[in-house]
Structures are given as structure tokens and as C-alpha cells.
Chain A
Amino acid sequence: MSTVNPTTDSHGHHGHDDHHHGPATLADGVWPYMKRWIGTTNHKDLGTMYLIFSFTMLFIGGLMSLVIRAELFAPGIQFVDPGFYNEMITLHALVMIFGGVMPAFVGLANWMIPMMIGCSDLALPRVNNWGFWILPFAFSMLLGTLFVSGGAPASGWTMYPPLVMQTGNALPLMVFAIHMAGISSITGAINIVVTILNMRAPDMPLLKMPLFVWAWLITAYLLIAVMPVLAGAVTMLLTDHFFGTTFFDAAGGGDPVLFQHIFWFFGHPEVYIMILPAFGIVSAIIPTFARKKLFGHDSMVYALASIAFLSFIVWAHHMFTVGMPVSAELFFMFATMLISVPTGVKVFNWVATMWRGSMTFETPMLFALGFVVLFTIGGLSGLMLALTPVDFQYHDSYFVVAHFHYVLVPGAIFSIIAAIYYWVPKWTGVMYSEKLGQFHFWWSAVWINVLFFPQHFLGLAGMPRRIPDYATQFTDFNMISSIGALMFFLGQFVFIYNMIMCMRRSGEKASGRVWEGARGLEWTVPSPAPYHTFETPPKIDPRELA
């Protein structure tokens, strides 16, 4: 199974190309090497840069979360003043969402989509380069707000007025950073849609595309639809602050609640922007290690589309307590609960794929299984929060923090880690250390639960979110949670070490197919994947199709 399919392997041809037009390496000199990375339009180079950028941001955001957890280790003010604590919770969220999770998925899309659909690169490679290079500037500016007068934004990532209007000089910088990150996301999304719709190999009909490609196609549509809404909302904050408009100022006839509606009209689809690609990754990994075709491929596509559609009509469940007509609350409650149907279809299909499969538990599979179990816990607590009368009790409590961290950390971030373990042999040509990978999974799976599970109890017992101090009865669970945070964070260095070893080509050589049960065009090219792949459309063996 580890041989390369001769009908679709264009290695010989591209090996020849590589010889003449290969990428500059350090051996060619520092400046040519830097020029390669600055000016590259190659989807694999840009995928690598997106991933390195995103992990840098995940590290910075992780350090901020340690500041938060250190402060919450014991009641009373320990290390930071409350204002700085608020800056940390705000930047932690903005950095993790817009700098960590989203660019990581864009990086994976860059690397894998052209190889999965049999085209040579994304449709607009220069736009791709531009979209990436916006990000370091956007996040330098956002993090730079820590040093401006008035401090960094401290109103939470939701930026609700009127509180956000108390931000000092950081407000326009934050707004501009969000605009830039949004432009990067939109250009990336446009590129992905155009590539998938126009550049698939002729033998690949839409419904035969891998689920990861489908998930990204739908995610890209969501991005194009909602990032401009966020841009509009923060522009209105800007004009309210500097140009005398009163969109959200009741004194001038505006309405602060309007901002919440606009923000969550963006914000809820944003949640699915961060989880649909994860569904795609898990749908790629589970069939490989169960050695079976994905159960219900087409129903998975329809479930993705249903979730994407429903994500537009549930936004007000984030603001049940703001005061709405009962009919509206009922509508948003039922619409939200409806999402559990397509999500249930997906979980059911993953389980059915594994049913009577010849399963093995390599690291990518462990992280994918961790995703299924722990994301489902986050989904179930989401169902609890969807119930309007129940949400009145849980709103703004630590239960909400526990819920969305279960969805985003052992959900989205576990899937990113699983994807990297799964595809890194294809990228680098060497296997990662399986022993370290197994250790990394079990360490992460234990400590992530120590970190987030007690937060359910804290929330149910009444501890509010976004506070640096708390009543003494919350001490024990907070201490446990903080220990979990530190241990989980430390465990990630094992992963970084494992990946650096792969990037240095230190490890057992990987075959083209890498995994015995893997199917799909990306496994028909050699490992490491040549710099240019599929410059002529491949003839596809039907067994490689989804």
C-alpha cells in the first residue's frame, strides 16, 4: 500500500523541474533564502508560513492564558492589576481566534487543497502571498497596543459598547488590526473558492471531493459573508468614537444592543468557521485509521451545509439576557437546538466509519478520537446553553467559558494538531516520533480536562467570567484548573520538538502513501511532496476519490 500510484504520479516530470527552478535554500545565501519566503507564491511555502505564524500566535495567546490562570490560582489580587487582567482576556481571545486557529486552518488549506484536488497551486498565488503578509503587521499592531497610552483593549473580544468606548489610544489600532485580519481572511477565502470551483482535476466531480475540501469550501463562503459584517461593526465603533456618529449611543438615538446583534451575526458563523475545517480533518483521519471508506460521505456534505445555513439564524442565543420578545427567544432557542441534528449526523457517521473497522491508534487517530469525544462534551454543554431559561442562569458564568473552550481547544486545536501529525510526513518526508506523539496526546488529553472540566462546576456554582478575583468557595476548582493550564501548556513543547525534528528531516523516511489506509490524491505524490505538484492534471484512479 505504500507504493506511489504510477498513473497519477508526476514525480519524474516535476523532479526535473525542481532541479532547475527549485526553491532557494540557505546554501544559496541568506538574502536569496529570505527573498524566497518574503516573495513566495508557492502554496506549500505559504502553508508552512501560515502554520508557523499561527503557532507563534498560539504560543503568545497561551502565555496570556497562563497570566489569567496564574491570577485565578487563588482568590484576591495575586500578580496583575484588574485592568491588565482585562487586557489579557481580550488579547488572549483576539490572538487565539484571529491569529491562531483561523490562520492554522488557512495554512492547512494552502498545503492540502491543491494536492487534494489535483491542481498546481491556488488560483491567485500573488493574492495568497499578500493575504499572508498582512497578518504579521495586523498582529504586531494589535499586540503593540499593550504599549500605548491607556493600555490594550480591555472590553473582551466582543468589544461591546459603551464599555469599549473607554479604550484609550488602542481603539483605532484594534479596529485597524481587525480590518487587516479580515481582509486577509476574505482574500484567502476567495482564493479557496476560486481554486476549488475552477481548478479541480477534470476527473473530480464536486461530490467526490475529500471532506476537508468540502468543509473548506463551505467555510470560505461563510468567511466571505460574515467578515465584512464584523468590519462594518468595528467601523461603526470607530465613527462613533471619532466622527460623532451615534450608532450605538443611546444619547444620540442609537442603540448599544444593535452592536450585539451585528457582532453576533458575525460571531456565530465565526464559531463554525473555526470548527467546520476541523470536521473535515477528522473526516479525513478516521477512515484512514479505521481502514474503511467514510460512512455517509454525501450526508456529511449536506450536514456541513446545513450547519453553515443554521449558523446564520441563531446569533441571538449569545444575548438571551439582553431583553427580547419571548417569540424571538423561542425562535433562537429552537433554531439553535436544530444544529444538533446535522452535528449528530456527523458524530454518528464518524462512529459508523469506525464500526467493524481494522482500527489502529497512531497519534493523528488519537487526536481525532479525542476530538470526537471532547468536542461532543462541548456540544452538549452548548445544547444546555441553548435553552433560554437555563441560559438565564448560566449567562456570563464560567460554565460558558468551559463550554466554548471544550469546543475550541480539544475541538479546533486538537484537530489542527491531528492534521499536522497526519500530513507532516507528506510535507517533510520523514515520520515524526510516534512515541513522543503518543505521550503528547495522553498528556494533553488528561490535562485539558483538568484545565476545563472544573470550570463547569465553577459556572454552575455561580462564578462569573471575566473577573480577576472571586469568592473563596471557588478556590479549589480554580487551583485545579490553573494547574491543568500550566501542565497542558508545558506538554506542547513535546509537540514543538517533534515537529522541529521533522522539519530538520530527522526521522524514519516516509513512503509516498505514508498511512496504509490513506486514500486521496495527496498520497499519490512522493514524500516529501515536490515543490510543484500536479502541473498537469492527474488521471485519477477512482479508488482515490471520496
Chain B
Amino acid sequence: MSPKKKNAALAIALGAVAVGIYVAFFFEMAAR
């Protein structure tokens, strides 16, 4: 994998973690 692609892949993974926490948190609270 090229360095640029490696950077993009890690950034997207970290971004997905952030969005995942946001969505999971919101819907977990909504389900209560």
C-alpha cells in the first residue's frame, strides 16, 4: 500500500471510530 493510501486508510478508520461512538451513543440512549 502506498504511504498516501496508508494515511487515508488510518484516517478513515479513526473517523469511523469517532462517528461510530457518536451514533452508538445516541441510539443506545434513545433505546433506553
Give A residues with C-beta under 8 Å from B: 123-124, 127, 186, 189-191, 193-194, 197-199, 224-225, 227-229, 231-232, 235-236, 245, 247, 258, 262
Interchain CB contact under 8 A, B11 and A258:
no
Interchain CB contact under 8 A, B10 and A194:
yes
Report 29 cross-chain contacts, Cβ distance below 8 Å, ordered by A residue: A124-B7, A186-B15, A189-B14, A190-B14, A190-B15, A191-B11, A194-B7, A197-B10, A198-B3, A198-B6, A224-B14, A224-B17, A225-B21, A227-B18, A228-B18, A228-B19, A228-B21, A228-B22, A229-B25, A232-B21, A232-B22, A232-B25, A232-B26, A235-B26, A236-B26, A247-B29, A247-B30, A258-B29, A262-B29
Q: A225-B17, A227-B18 are in contact. List 11 more A-B contacts (CB 8 A).
A: A123-B11, A186-B18, A194-B7, A194-B14, A197-B10, A198-B7, A228-B18, A228-B22, A228-B25, A232-B26, A236-B29
Interchain CB contact under 8 A, B10 and A193:
yes
A193, B18: Cα distance in complex, Å: 13
Give B residues with C-beta under 8 Å from A: 3, 6-8, 10-11, 14-15, 17-19, 21-22, 25-26, 29-30
Minimal beta-carbon separation of B4 from chain A (angstroms):
9
The answer to whether residues A232 and B29 also contact, given A224-B17, A225-B21, A227-B18 and a CB cut-off of 8 A, is: yes
Chain B residues with Cβ below 8 Å from A229 are 21-22, 25
Chain B residues with Cβ below 8 Å from A193 are 10, 14
Inter-chain CB contacts under 8 Å: number: 56
Chain A residues with Cβ below 8 Å from B25 are 228-229, 232, 262
Q: Nearest chain-B residue to A220 (Cβ)?
A: B14
Chain B residues with Cβ below 8 Å from A124 are 7-8, 11
A123, B3: Cα distance in complex, Å: 10
Interchain CB contact under 8 A, A231 and B29:
no
Minimal beta-carbon separation of A511 from chain B (angstroms):
33
Q: Nearest chain-B residue to A259 (Cβ)?
A: B29
Minimal beta-carbon separation of A249 from chain B (angstroms):
13
A419, B9: Cα distance in complex, Å: 32
Interchain CB contact under 8 A, A194 and B18:
no
Interchain CB contact under 8 A, A245 and B30:
yes
A199, B10: Cα distance in complex, Å: 12
| 8 nearest CB pairs, A to B | A228-B22, A228-B21, A232-B25, A123-B7, A190-B14, A232-B26, A194-B10, A228-B18
Q: Which of A123, A193, A227 has the most CB of B within 10 A?
A: A123
Interchain CB contact under 8 A, A194 and B30:
no
Minimal beta-carbon separation of A197 from chain B (angstroms):
7
A231, B29: Cα distance in complex, Å: 13
Chain B residues with Cβ below 8 Å from A190 are 11, 14-15, 18
Interchain CB contact under 8 A, A231 and B7:
no
A236, B14: Cα distance in complex, Å: 23
A480, B13: Cα distance in complex, Å: 52
Minimal beta-carbon separation of B31 from chain A (angstroms):
11
Minimal beta-carbon separation of A161 from chain B (angstroms):
13
Q: Which of A127, A186, A191 has the most CB of B within 10 A?
A: A186
Q: Nearest chain-B residue to A247 (Cβ)?
A: B29
Minimal beta-carbon separation of A235 from chain B (angstroms):
6
A225, B21: Cα distance in complex, Å: 7
A543, B10: Cα distance in complex, Å: 31
Minimal beta-carbon separation of A145 from chain B (angstroms):
24
